[in-house]
Structure formats: structure tokens, C-alpha cells
Structure 1
Amino acid sequence: MPQPDQLPPGTAWAEPLVREVFPEAEVIELLPRTGGRLSTVYELRCADPAHSVILKVYAPEWAWKQAKEVHVYRILAGLDTLPVPRVLHHTPDGAPDGRAVTILGLLDGRPLSEASKDLDAEQIPPFYREMGAALATIHQVGQEAYGYLTNRILDPRPDNGTYMRHQFAKKLAEFKALGGDDRLHDAVARRIERDGALFDNCRAAVLCHNDLHEGNVLVTTGDATRVTGIIDVENAIAADPLIDLAKTDYYALGRGEPERRALLAGYGPLPADAPERLDLYRLYHALELWDWFRSIGTEGPLDAIAADITRLAGHRSDTPS
């Protein structure tokens, strides 16, 4: 599989792509930005700053995610108060090695995961309040069923109980196949058997970002401290809005109660069973994360995540959260 650093050096290969959008653009610098295993992200700086863009190159086996991102970003662009990048151009084979490429508008700011290193602890919760408000805005977009989202819902499930029981069964099977502890597997299964009826309390699916952590939130600091961008919709699903809120909370690694309170305050009113449902969804996200790290050979975080699974699997729904 071609690797990101095997793309030709320099900017010559990128300039024709930008000129599909800005015919007179002159690319002067190509800077790697935050990326992952599924895609590589570059900032293309042009002689005219107004023409500078973000260019996303997809790994071959993940090229199908391009259509998903284009679809979801265009939905979110219709939510006027939500700062998301505008899709300017996309091609299934625009990179020199034939990989899919999407060109996005460049937003101000840098990821909160980077900016937070230069901030005091009391400066972080206001960003979480804005993240909660952003999730509430995204959740205004209703969906007709529950399931994984591309430019449609794959294997749609008619209700949340059916969907979440299916998801837990799939992740538990992966956990077992990846060598997870049998007792921990059984503890999770018992928890879902005992408290899974809570899933049925969600009556309607909504669009969920499903990965709104600090790496996917752009911010500015200083005199104009604010969230300037919500990015990376590769994991979007149609689901219970609380599963989205729980993921942002669980992925706030190293944060604490001030950030959690700010997130929930920014989101707004929650249903009466939110504490119990959120705990079940945190359990799901911990299980999913353990499976992911184990599948890619990243062993370091596994013990800490297993401890989270142990704690969450043992929590009783009639115990204060």
C-alpha cells in the first residue's frame, strides 16, 4: 500500500488540484496536518492566502469514505451556526498514485489537542461548553433509521434497542477474537442483559459526529478564544444523540469534572435517564476502543481501557452516576 510520505515531494502535483477550484492559484507550500491511518491531511498554502485549502488524501482501502465525508459535510454546512469546512472539490483518483482526494476550505485555528498544551486548566472547560453546543446543533438533523452512515444508512435498524444490542454483540465478538479476558467479556454481556432496556428509551435517531474529541475541534486562543471548526466526520452514524455525547466525554482523556460539566451545560437539557444511558454508551466506547487498539497492535493503553470496562460493566443502573 502506498504510504503518505511516498507522494512526490514539492507542490507540483497538488497545484492542478487546487486550480480545479481556483484557476489562478499558485501553491507555494505543502504542510502535513493532523492525519490518521485512514487518510493524510495537508494544508496547501497559496501565494494568495484566500486560495489556501485543506487537501485530504485517502488510503486506497478507505477511498469509499470520501463519498461519506462529502455527504455529511454538505449536510452540516446547512446548519448555519456550525463551523465546518466547505467541500470545494473531490475526485476519486486525484493523487499521483491514483488515490482519492478531497479539497476542503481552510478554517482558522488549530486542534484543541495541540492548543491546550499552551493553556491553563481553567481555560479548557469553555471549549467543552462550545463542543456540547456543537453536538446539540448536529443532533438537530434527524435520521430515518439507526446504523452506520455513508451517503446512506447501511444495514438500517428500526429502533435503538435492536441497533445497540447488535453493536455490543459485534464488539464483544471482536473482543473475544482478539484475546480479551473471558470474565470481562461476560461482565459486559451481563450488564447489557440487565440494563439494555434503557436503549429502547431513545425514540428517534439523529446524525451523530461520533468522534468529537479534542483532535477534531479547531480553536483560536488569545483575545478571540473560541471554537472555529468541527472536522473529521469519517465515523458519523445515525443513532441516539447520547451515544455521541458519551463518546466526547469518554474521549476527554485526562480531563475531569469541570470539562464534563461544561460539555453537558453546553449541550442543554437531557432526558431523565441520561446518567444511566450515558454510562452504557461509555461502556460501548471503551469496548470499541480496546478492540481498535488491540487490532492495530497498540498495547500501551489496553490495561487502562480494560480497567474502564471493568468499572463500567459493574455499574448498576440504579446507582447514582
Structure 2
Amino acid sequence: MDHDVAAMMRKALPEWTIAEILPRSGGQLATVFEVRRADGAAVIVKVYAPEWAWKQAKEVYVYGLLEPSLKDLVPAVIHAEPAGETHAFTVLSMVDGVPLSEITPPDYRPIYEQAGALLAKIHRIRQPAYGYLTDQVLEPLPSNDLYMRRQFAKKLDEFQELGGDPALHARITRYVAEHPFPADTHPVLCHNDFHEGNLLVDPETWRLTGIIDVENAIAADPLIDLAKVQYYSIKDDGAKLEGLLTGYGELPAGWEQRATGYRLYHALELWDWFKLIGVIDPLESIAGDLADIVGTAGADAVR
């Protein structure tokens, strides 16, 4: 769908004289544009699909939580326009940098060390309960174990409804029953999409310049974030993992088993999502990941 970005900018920043409007990578939830002035200044305009307009309030809220700690490492919300004459849209400040997924640094370890330190800062932002975040914690639960069991139950039901392998469903169900998550953790703000596509770096200095895309943020055990980085971006790269953990700092006893359980959840969630939107090619590989993880039920190492 075509969007009149110039009209949106006249409403949000009427003093601007626009030199250029460029499409940027977006996703299923929103269309993203970079808007430039003649003097080189630029902002991001994010236009939400109607069914995802409620995500706007979430982004405004979460970026507000992050700004005191991360400063210019996250976008500032310049204007948030609810749905009306146009689709809901948000104007964000431009965070310099290139997604790490689009370039190849000479050495990933120092970048991941910076990423670990950044993630640790995010995890110092405590939350009142466990659950999905909008501008509050939805359906809050008081313990991590209750939250993760609820999430696994939802995703396992989806897996079954979407035609997932019944034998694999049974193995995952058994794994979750036999590996409870600790109930004594404290919920914190988790980015929940902290992978190379959302990490911005300066390709001249290889300095981490920012983190974007908070649409998946949750209030949860911080290890769920570390496990998602490992599953989505690190895989078996020891240098990346070493850098991330060094930058992050001290981890609790038994973190490896907890991280394995969270990797299982992330893989299950990803299988469900891809099957739901009709992305078929990765499903066999993700199912293999699920089988591998439940096959290491007694393992203590993140692979």
C-alpha cells in the first residue's frame, strides 16, 4: 500500500523541507522510511499496518524505558500519530550505523563483547511481573516457571494445530515437564529480538552504535535474551559466544540448563511463526534443532 509520507511529515515536523524519502527494511508489521532534509538531517517514519497499530504504544513505552540508560543507542520518539486520516505512524530519530547482519567485520568477538555489555544494561531495568509488554505487562504472572509453562503450552498447542510432528510434540512436552524453570528470578526488561539484524555498528570503527526494533519486548528472565542471541545469531561460533558472555558479566549458577530450555522455546516459537505465515523452507531445519535440543536433556552446555 502506498503511504503519503510527505503528508505525515507535514503533520509531525511541519518545519521540515524534505529532500528525499527512501524505503527502508521493515517487516510484516510496519513499513519503514528514511526521510532526509537537504542539510543531511534524517529521521525514520514507521507506518503500522492497521492490525498492528497497537504496537505503536508499545514502542513508545519501551523506548522510553530504555532511553535513560542507553541514551543515543536507541531511537528517540519524535512524534507518535494514532490511526485516523492515515495509518498510525511514528517518527523516530535516526540511529547511525549499519545492521551487523549486512556486513562482515574482521573480528566478531569485540562487537559481541559490546553487545553483551549493552544487553546487561537493558536487563538492569526491572519489571513488576512476568509477561508480554505493551505499555504494561499483559496477563502478568508472579514467577518465571509459571510464565514459561504458560508460553510453552501456547506454543505447543500452536505446533499441534499447525501440523507439527506429534512425536516431536510429545518429546518437547516431556522435556518441559522434566526441566522446570527457576521461580526465584526477578523479571526484567528483555529486548527479545537481540540479533544481528537489530544491532547497528559503525563499519569504520566497528563500534556498536545502537539497537533497534523493540516490538517483541517482554518482562522475563534475562537469560531468555541471551538464549535468543545464541539461537538466532551465534549458533556454534565460539568467538561470538565468548565475546557476548565476557561483555555481559557474571551469570547465575545453572544458567546453561536454563539457556537450553529457552533455546528450545525460541526454536518452537520460530517454527510456529514460519508455518503460520507460510514460510516453509526453514521448517525442517528448525524441527531438527528442536529434536537436537530435547535430545540433550541432561546437557549443561550451550551449543
Shorter-chain TM-score range:
over 0.9
Greater displacement, 163-172 / 256-265: 256-265
SS at match of 1:251: helix
TM-score normalised by L of structure 2: 0.95
Question: Amino acid of the residue matched to residue 195 of structure 2?
Answer: H
Identity %: 51
Name the counterpart of 1:46. Answer: 37
Alpha-carbon shift at residue 261 of structure 1 (Å) = 1.3
Structure 2 residue aligned with 1:10: none
1:79 corresponds to: 69
User: Which residues in structure 2 correspond to 1:185-224 (within 5 Å)?
Assistant: 185-196=169-180, 199-222=181-204, 224=205
Answer whether contact 2:175 2:294 (CA < 8 A) is retained: yes
Q: Which position in structure 2 is the counterpart of 1:160? A: 144
Structure 1 segments unaligned to the other structure (5+ residues): 8-12
What are the Cα deviations for residues 38-73 of structure 1, in whole angstroms up to 9, with x where unaligned? 0111110111223x2000000110000000000000
Match of 1:172 among 142, 156, 160: 156
Tell me what 1:112 maps to: 100
One-letter code aligned to 2:218: I
Rounded to whole Å, the distance in 1 between the matches of 2:301 and 2:61 is 40
Deviation at 1:203, TM superposition (A): 2.0
Report the counterpart of residue 114 of structure 2 in structure 1: 130
- What is the Cα deviation at residue 248 of structure 1? 1.1
**Contact kept? 2:143, 2:183, Cα under 8 Å:** no
- String of CA shifts for 1:231-252, please: whole Å, max 9, x gaps: 0000000000000111111110
CA distance in 2, matches of 1:82, 1:238: 23
SS at match of 2:182: helix
Distance in 2, Cα, partners of 1:15 & 1:259:
42
Q: Give, in whole Å, the separation in 1 of the partners of 2:70 and 2:148.
A: 31
User: What SS does the corresponding residue of 1:261 show, helix, strand or coil?
Assistant: helix
Return the alpha-carbon distance in structure 1 between the equivalents of residues 300 and 186 of structure 2: 26
Matching of residue 14 in structure 1 with residue 2 in structure 2 = no
Structure 2, unaligned stretches of length 5 or more? none
Deviation at 1:81, TM superposition (A): 5.5
CA contact (8 A) 1:202 1:240 kept: no
Deviation (angstroms), 1:265: 1.2
8 Å Cα contact 1:26/1:48 also seen in 2: no
Identify which of 269, 279, 289 aligns with 2:270.
289
Per the TM alignment, residue 217 of structure 1 is displaced from its structure 2 partner at its CA by: 1.0
Q: Tell me how many residue pairs correspond in the alignment.
A: 302
- Using the alignment, how far apart are the partners of 2:70 and 2:195 within structure 1? 21
AA aligned opposite 1:160: N
Q: For 2:301 and 2:269, locate their aligned partners in 1 and report how far apart those are by CA, in whole Å.
A: 25
Whether the 8 Å CA contact 1:83–1:228 is kept in 2: the answer is yes
Letter in 2 for 1:266: G
Is 2:83 the partner of 1:93?
yes
Match of 1:140 in 2: 124
The question of whether the paired residues in 2 share the 8 Å contact of 1:184 and 1:310 is answered with yes
What is the CA–CA distance in structure 1 between the aligned matches of 2:235 and 2:147, rounded to whole Å?
30
Alpha-carbon distance in 2 for matches of 1:227, 1:150: 27
2:299 & 2:236 partners in 1: Cα distance? Answer: 26
